[in-house]
Amino acid sequence: MQKRSPKVQFLFWMAFFSTILYLWIIIVGLTNFIFIEQKPINPPQNIIMLLFTLYAFLIFTALAGEIVSTMINNRYYQKFFGVMIFLIFATLIVIKSISD
């Protein structure tokens, strides 16, 4: 059995939770704003607060992973978190373009 460094384990779990949070945001956004039959007059505030909270956790995990992977010079996780940060901003731009 191969023992991994605690830093690499941290990066693995940050990548895992970042992916789960990103998928959760996509699923909540699609089910509540895209795939509904009738658009509500006022958007549901609890769903919007959930999305803001999930985005805050997602940005925190992605940036923490990026900083740690840069500090230990792990190329795989640097690329992973770089793509994750790009996806976060691309998703925000898509959401902004849909909402206007």
Q: Which two tokens stand for residue 18?
A: 């970042």
**Distance between CA atoms of 87 and 64, rounded to whole angstroms?**
16
Domains of the chain, residue spans? 59-100
- Model confidence at 30: pLDDT above 70: yes
Instruction: Give the CA angle between residues 33, 90, 53 to the nearest 5°.
Output: 55
Per-residue pLDDT tens digits for 42-98: 878 898 899 999 999 999 999 999 999 999 999 999 999 999 999 999 998 988 887
Can you give the pTM of this predicted structure?
0.87
